[in-house]
Amino acid sequence: MLLVADIGNTNITFGIYDGDKLVGTYRLTTWFKRTSDEYGFMILNFLNASGVRTDEIDDVIIASVVPKIMHSFTNSIRKYIKKEPIIVGPGIKTGIKIKYDNPKEVGADRIVDAVGAHYTYGGDVLVVDFGTATTFEIIDESGTYRGGSIAPGIQICAEALSSKTAKLPEIEIKPTETIITTNTIQAMQSGVFYGYIGLCEYLIDKCIKEFGKDMKVIATGGLGRTISKYTDKIDIYDPDLTFKGLKIIYDKNRA
């Protein structure tokens, strides 16, 4: 079995592959001060909940955009899973070409999403990943990563609205029945949610126009499921795209 892990700024997500089948997923909050033992106990609980023994894990592959926790996290893998984890980064075979001014600037999460989208859906694709930041990446039909755009995530927008104003409270991010509302909470929810859809639709349209051809638009990440229901610009919502990309990269590097 293969343990895959995606370490983001807000959450760490795990998946277990039994062959080519994803048999379990788990999510925990990213916190810089956890020790290797704390991460180890959480991983063991995840495996136990999935009915998997540590000796059934053949390998571990990790994509991370949070360098600060990598020391304790990788040590937890070595100590509790008894494996040396594969880290997505320079020197790893991905099967795609990076057309970027400085390829080293492309985050591991963006690379993994690009791999997952290219090998799962083919053709020209635009991936929109709704994470701490919302990233837009274009991968052409030849498997070349052509770049994209990065916007603040919807949670960041909501937190900025409440933290930078004296009287506006924190809100739950969710759609309202109407855009015109009659109380402050719903007015904020309406502005943040539908305003963010407007941001996404504009960037999707501009990406397609500048690329010069139609593309499949694949959404993934946290709130991607909810947002994709409220726009016709997104063709597919794939919650497991990052896991798929990690599995594909692992298969390419297994030898």
Task: State yes or no: pLDDT of 81 exceeds 70.
Answer: yes
223 vs 98 pLDDT, higher one: 98
Mean pLDDT of 121-148: 96
Residue 209: predicted pLDDT:
97
43 backbone dihedrals φ, ψ, rounded to 5°: -65, -40
**Integer CA distances (angstroms), 208 to 137, 153, 203, 253, in order:** 11, 21, 9, 32
Q: What is the mean pLDDT of residues 119-123?
A: 95
Query: Is the confidence at residue 238, as pLDDT, over 90?
Result: yes
Mean pLDDT of 65-87: 95
**Average pLDDT taken over every residue of the chain:** 95
User: pTM for the full model?
Assistant: 0.92
Task: Read off the amino acid at residue 65.
Answer: V
Residue 150 has pLDDT above 70, yes or no: yes
Over the stretch 165-220, which tens digit does the pLDDT of each residue have?
Answer: 999 999 999 999 999 999 999 999 999 999 999 999 999 999 999 999 999 999 99
pLDDT at 222: 83
Residues designated catalytic: 109
Predicted confidence (pLDDT) at residue 255 exceeds the cutoff of 70? no
> Which percentage of the chain shows pLDDT scores above 90?
94
pLDDT band at 91 (very low <50, low <70, confident <90, very high): confident
Mean pLDDT of 144-152: 96
Give the model's pLDDT for residue 254: 85
Alpha-carbon distance of 164 to 238, in angstroms, equals: 34
- The pLDDT score that the predictor gives to residue 135 is 96
Region 54-75: what's the mean pLDDT? 95
